[in-house]
Amino acid sequence: MPLTTVQQTRLQEDLRGLIKGDVRCEEVTQQLYATDASILQSRPICIVCPRSIDDVVAVVRYAAEEGIPLQLRGAGTSLTGESLGEGIALVFSRYMRRILETGDDFVTIQTGLLRRRLNGIIGQSQNRLFGPLAGNVSSASLGSILARNGAGLHYLRYGLPSDHLVSMTVVLANGDQLTLDRRSLPQPLQGDESVTLAQEITYGKEYVYAGKVARILENRTSEQLVESARRLPVNRTGYAEHAVLHGKDANQVDLARLFAGSEGTLGITVEATLKTVSCPQRKCAAAFFFRSIFSAVEAATAVLPLRPVLCEMIDRRRLSMVRDWDARYRPLIPADAEAALLVELDAGTLEDPSSADDCKNALAHMIDLVQTKEQLCFHALRVNTPEDFQLFDEVIRRSELALGRMRHSVQPIPLFDDVAVPLNTMNTVISDLLSLFQRHNITASLSGHVGQGNIRIHPLADLAQPDAIPKLHVLTEDVYSAILQHGGTISSEWGTGLLKSQFLPQQFPHLTPLFREIKETFDPQYLLNPGKIIPQETHWTTYLRHGLEKRGLPPPTPVGASDSRLMKQRLNALTPDQVAIQLKWDPAHVFEAVHRCNGCGECLRFDRQSRICPLFRGTATIEFAPRSKADLLRGILEQDINLETLTGGRAKEIADTCFQCRMCDIECPAKVDVNVLSFRSKAAYVAAYGLPFKDLLFSRLDTILTLLTPVSSVFNVVMRSRVMRWFFEKTLQLPQRRVVPTLTHRPYLKRVRWSPLRHRLMPDQTQKERLALFVDTYINHFYPQLAELAVQILERNGFSVHVPVRQQPSGWNSFAVGHADRAGWLARYNSALMTDLIRQGYKIITMEPYSASCLTKDYPYLIDSAEAELIADNTTDFCSFLYECYQADKLNLEFQPVPNRIGYHAPCCGLARSVSLTMDSTPAEKLLRLIPELDVQRIERGCCGMAGFWGFQQSNYRHSLQIGTPLFQALRLPKIDFGVSDCSACCSQMTHGSKKPAHHPIRLLAAAYGLLPKGTTFASSSWR
Ligand SMILES: Cc1cc2nc3c(=O)[nH]c(=O)nc-3n(C[C@H](O)[C@H](O)[C@H](O)COP(=O)(O)OP(=O)(O)OC[C@H]3O[C@@H](n4cnc5c(N)ncnc54)[C@H](O)[C@@H]3O)c2cc1C
Ligand code: SF4
Ligand code: SF4
């Protein structure tokens, strides 16, 4: 239902007048809410982020009056298009995410709160948690967990989310509010039309609705009762009408139980009180490996009587993807395993502990049963220590996300995954399914929470093939027939959404009319989440994401295809010439990156185990998330929005919410190159309108600093004056409070050029291992002493160092603001210089990770690929290089003690370059640990918020400090003398935020080698 511009403006103005929350109706924002983690898409006409229940009621009443449907949305990561639709999208995860009350064993929350965030908070303060886990993704909101009431990974331990629901407040489609407290269930009021206003006022609306529902249920036919009784305990298709009536005469109506699992089609849950449980004492688990998937299912059947709390099956494909993803699993997961079964036994809770010995004995019995007696598995691993459990949990999480890492056009399609069957029929069903796949010539990945009968089936298909959709369509029907034939359900936890709801009558032919009656009792106009649970006429394929086929255009070139010429032809056919000419993008690369994003929502995290995405986590604004950058470009490539949009202010605003920290490189499971997508968007804007003045200053910072060098002492005095800083804030957007480091009067590269010792820094043809030092803007102009010390340290280790004095800055800041011309020029210039050196046998050593990151990861988008490859292979940063020397026994370890306690912060670019997991130690950290008496404490509190020069802009200043606050708080602790980071920009932010000095590891290494003058302390960041 696309609106005209006038209608859109009216809608926006009306809603903005009614509520305090955000209202956005422009095309670009609509596009960002048009998809979730499914293969479907449907664009809302308006996005509303309510701030309170009053806002929700106002929007609902307005929508009811205007007849506009509403879709409810948490983080938008469902796999069946549950949060999609063409009406107003009500987004709860933006503002309605507070904890309202915490008791000893309960918590009252607003429903936009993420489960993981809640558990992080109450886990730390009370050692308690909300148990049920719907999706093993990090961004699931509690509103969605209740709306879906899925069995989930922890079903065997905690049961369903509704088992932990104490009460909920819901807003109905007519704006009525109900408080559904399960501790005092309403009894139905007799009569329908006859319920008087007085009765309604006396008893409350809950009693009226209870009466209506009770009457529907009392009239169930015998076929409906039979169908109802036959459903599986983990069924998630239709409404839970079977669980609503309680009491001796079935005269208590549990409406909350009906709303749980209704996928937001009956009402909007705005607040809920949930039971919490104490964190489990985890002691015992095992991983079994099998030669066949059937043996794994047999083993699950064998261990179930031992009452495990988790029983998860992972197939060969996922296991091998996990091994490739994380090296820690290579020695643990046998390469020839066809399937694994992960089983955990209950060791009780704090209040109700079971003995550790009992648990160990039970585990020994289980292993003996599966491995020796039944001879089902060929290998078993015990999980005992906290570290083992961390690996155990991670393998489950990673196995869910791993398929997204497949690097070719054949991709896992979330289509008919999440089915469930009785466990005793599972092997027959799997065997039927495998024959079906063979007949349809399709491969698939099969795994699941087998302990509760759940099977995850991911067909692997190339949706760009013309016959893919029809083939999958037929296959879907066949799969569902097979599942239903064996008494199964087409959904056990993910809900039916837009993808599966049309199959509801197939599973519940008799109950479907009853479900309709229930829906119409609460929402007669079908305004809430239409098309979900109760089927509509539109076929699911109408919502398919890959929209090009729908318009009769040639299908997309498969992801990862090398024929970028073909891709360009296609894109040129789609793009208006005059805009295409201006854009600086490589269509093949954009296409590949965009289509890799599967909407999994891992980039919407807030927890401390991750850093992605520093810009999103402070605001919880979906537009700031990495996913949005991919969604925006997808909209353009699939012609859902105009190409010209890319050069509009809103697109620029979205692209600007990436400061190229590169954490996506390690934390996005699908490895979407968001960094480069943002660069492309920014570059498109710059190509169309030129560079904004403040961005020009940052892009040209090195030129400006060079020009200021002769007057550096005046500059430094001026920069210390509050009045002048105020003036610069007003004119140059440089924040008044930001302390600018002291500008040197002799930049390092100039020093080298005119130094009498220059011969030492010239190429030395006699040396076998030759190093060329790359000195970027920050060190060159603000910390030249670091470069001098770096040379001395390398010389101490027997290397002769060449400093190419004609080198230019890496161009990192030009790249960050989308100044493609200058970034390209710098890349071409430096690569000519460096490839020449590399061919002479030199290795390029940078002193800061962002320089290394730019040279190795950004240059490939700017220069010839052969040169880029050569540079990437031969460039490393200073600390990584020295640590490699240490590993090769070549590092001079004659260190003097440095008796200090330091808080080490790993810079984002450094992490992304040198490790595969955020929590891993970086080479700099490992190197510092070699220094005697130096107490190195790693502070993992996320990004510092500086991001090169991003934090130097007035518009970003507050946000920059807000991002860095957890780090500053940790640094301020008395147990830390000063901070250390291998990025000078991070050091300056750490000093600014914590008021403690922060130093580059080069300075500590220099101290350890005795290269600093006697009496030097680390009490100040200043070198003078
Ligand atoms: C890789 C991957 C693995 C997954 N694995 C699982 C799994 O194992 N088990 C599982 O169950 N799910 C799984 N999911 C699906 C998904 O992550 C979960 O369903 C998650 O709970 C969705 O949370 P959300 O906040 O993104 O919800 P959304 O997608 O935003 O919404 C989900 C549903 O909840 C409704 N809703 C949201 N808020 C409200 C509200 N306040 N009131 C009423 N209705 C509301 C929406 O209308 C929609 O119907 C997986 C997803 C991914 C990407
Ligand atoms: S950008 Fe990566 S982490 Fe974010 S939704 Fe896309 S695939 Fe998931
Ligand atoms: S590169 Fe960093 S700032 Fe940019 S989207 Fe990824 S995590 Fe966010």
pLDDT, residue 864, reads 78
Q: What is the mean pLDDT of residues 507-515?
A: 97
Ligand having the closest approach to the CA of 263 = 1
Q: What is the mean pLDDT of residues 200-209?
A: 82
Q: Tell how far the Cα of 952 is from the centroid of ligand 1, in angstroms.
A: 38
Q: Tell how far the Cα of 594 is from the centroid of ligand 2, in angstroms.
A: 10
Residue with tokens 């709801």: 501
- Distance, CA of 615 to CA of 593 (rounded, Å): 20
pLDDT, residue 759, reads 63
Ligand having the closest approach to the CA of 909 = 3
pLDDT, residue 499, reads 93
Q: If we measure between CA atoms, which residue out of 422, 592, 511, 629 comes closest to residue 219?
A: 511
- Distance, CA of 572 to CA of 574 (rounded, Å): 5
pLDDT, residue 234, reads 94
Residue with tokens 């086929």: 549
pLDDT, residue 635, reads 85
Q: What atom of ligand 2 comes closest to residue 598's alpha carbon?
A: 7
pLDDT, residue 650, reads 86
Q: Tell how far the Cα of 174 is from the centroid of ligand 1, in angstroms.
A: 25
Q: Tell how far the Cα of 559 is from the centroid of ligand 1, in angstroms.
A: 27
Structure tokens at 1016: 């030097």
Tell me which of 137 and 554 has the higher pLDDT.
Answer: 137
Write down the mean pLDDT value for the chain.
Answer: 89
Q: Tell how far the Cα of 908 is from the centroid of ligand 3, in angstroms.
A: 10
Confidence of residue 585 (pLDDT cuts 50, 70, 90): low
Structure tokens at 814: 């030009």
Residue 934 reports pLDDT greater than 90: yes
Residue 851 reports pLDDT greater than 90: yes
pLDDT, residue 607, reads 82
Contact call for residues 374 and 303 (beta carbons, < 8 A): no
Contact call for residues 907 and 659 (beta carbons, < 8 A): no
- Distance, CA of 111 to CA of 145 (rounded, Å): 9
pLDDT, residue 540, reads 83
List Cα–Cα distances, 312 to 384, 396, 484, 490, 861, in angstroms: 18, 8, 22, 19, 42
Helix (H, G, I), strand (E, B) or coil at 952: helix
Name the closest-CA residue to atom 6, ligand 2.
597
Q: Tell how far the Cα of 462 is from the centroid of ligand 1, in angstroms.
A: 25
Q: What atom of ligand 3 comes closest to residue 675's alpha carbon?
A: 1
Structure tokens at 615: 């810009």
Name the closest-CA residue to atom 7, ligand 3.
613
Confidence of residue 15 (pLDDT cuts 50, 70, 90): very high
List Cα–Cα distances, 954 to 342, 368, 721, 905, 984, in angstroms: 51, 65, 17, 24, 20
Which segments of 486-586 does DSSP mark as H helices, in order? 497-500, 504-507, 512-522, 564-574, 577-582
pLDDT, residue 573, reads 47
Residue 644 reports pLDDT greater than 80: no
Bridge partners (DSSP) listed for residue 89 = 47, 71
Confidence of residue 576 (pLDDT cuts 50, 70, 90): very low
Q: Tell how far the Cα of 288 is from the centroid of ligand 2, in angstroms.
A: 31
Helix, strand, coil percentages in the chain from 3-state DSSP, rounded to 5: 50, 15, 40
Q: Measured from the CB, is residue 626 less than 6 Å from ligand 3? A: yes
Confidence of residue 1021 (pLDDT cuts 50, 70, 90): low
Contact call for residues 539 and 502 (beta carbons, < 8 A): yes
Confidence of residue 652 (pLDDT cuts 50, 70, 90): confident
| Cα angle for residues 247, 264, 607 (degrees, 5° grid) | 105
- Distance, CA of 418 to CA of 665 (rounded, Å): 29
Residue 960 reports pLDDT greater than 60: yes
Quote the crossing angle between the two packed helices 587-596 and 564-574, to the nearest 10°: 90
Q: Tell how far the Cα of 128 is from the centroid of ligand 3, in angstroms.
A: 32
What's the predicted TM-score (pTM) here? 0.90
Q: What is the mean pLDDT of residues 570-578?
A: 45
DSSP sequence for 644-691 = GGGGSHHHHHHHTT-----HHHHHSTT---HHHHHHHHHHHHHHHH--
Structure-derived torsion over alpha carbons of residues 309, 315, 316, 318, reported in degrees to the nearest 10: -90
- Distance, CA of 25 to CA of 86 (rounded, Å): 12
Residue 904 parent element (H or E):
strand 900-904
- Distance, CA of 881 to CA of 377 (rounded, Å): 44
- Distance, CA of 445 to CA of 460 (rounded, Å): 7
Q: Tell how far the Cα of 613 is from the centroid of ligand 3, in angstroms.
A: 5
Ligand having the closest approach to the CA of 137 = 1
User: Which has the minimum average pLDDT: 169-183, 613-627, 706-720?
Assistant: 613-627
Start-to-end CA distance of the chain, whole Å, equals 66
Contacts (Cβ under 8 Å, ≥6 apart) of 640: 31, 34, 41, 43, 547, 634
Confidence of residue 570 (pLDDT cuts 50, 70, 90): very low
Q: Tell how far the Cα of 912 is from the centroid of ligand 1, in angstroms.
A: 29
pLDDT, residue 142, reads 96
Residue 1007's CB: how many other CB atoms inside 10 A?
Answer: 22
Q: What is the mean pLDDT of residues 614-632?
A: 89
Pocket of ligand 2 (CB under 6 A): 597-603, 626-627, 630, 668-670, 672, 674
Ligand having the closest approach to the CA of 675 = 3
Residue 217's CB: how many other CB atoms inside 10 A?
Answer: 22
pLDDT, residue 205, reads 87
Bridge partners (DSSP) listed for residue 313 = 341, 448
pLDDT tens digits, residue range 788-803? 999 999 999 999 899 9
Name the closest-CA residue to atom 43, ligand 1.
264
Residue 560 reports pLDDT greater than 70: no
Residue 270 parent element (H or E):
strand 268-275
Residue 549 reports pLDDT greater than 50: no
pLDDT more than 90, % of the chain: 66
Contact call for residues 182 and 197 (beta carbons, < 8 A): no
- Distance, CA of 72 to CA of 80 (rounded, Å): 14
Cis peptide before 664 (omega within 30 of 0): no
Q: Measured from the CB, is residue 677 less than 6 Å from ligand 3? A: no
Residue 449 reports pLDDT greater than 90: yes
Ligand 3 probe mutation, 654, 664, 812, most atoms within 8 A of CB: 664
Q: Measured from the CB, is residue 630 less than 6 Å from ligand 3? A: no
Residue 820 reports pLDDT greater than 70: yes
Contact call for residues 662 and 707 (beta carbons, < 8 A): no
pLDDT, residue 349, reads 60
Supply φ then ψ for residue 466, to 5 degrees. -60, -30
pLDDT tens digits, residue range 311-366? 999 999 999 999 999 889 999 999 999 999 999 988 666 566 677 788 888 899 99
Confidence of residue 884 (pLDDT cuts 50, 70, 90): very high
Q: What is the mean pLDDT of residues 18-38?
A: 94
pLDDT tens digits, residue range 84-138? 999 999 999 999 999 999 999 999 999 999 999 999 999 999 999 999 986 667 7
pLDDT tens digits, residue range 93-102? 999 999 999 9
pLDDT, residue 283, reads 82
Q: If we measure between CA atoms, which residue out of 529, 537, 426, 541 comes closest to residue 477?
A: 541
pLDDT tens digits, residue range 379-414? 999 998 999 999 999 999 999 899 888 877 788 888
DSSP sequence for 417-454 = --EE--GGGHHHHHHHHHHHHHHTT-EEEEEB-GGGTE
Residue 44 reports pLDDT greater than 60: yes
Q: What atom of ligand 1 comes closest to residue 170's alpha carbon?
A: 42
Residue 439's CB: how many other CB atoms inside 10 A?
Answer: 10
Ligand having the closest approach to the CA of 495 = 1
pLDDT, residue 214, reads 93
Helix (H, G, I), strand (E, B) or coil at 465: coil
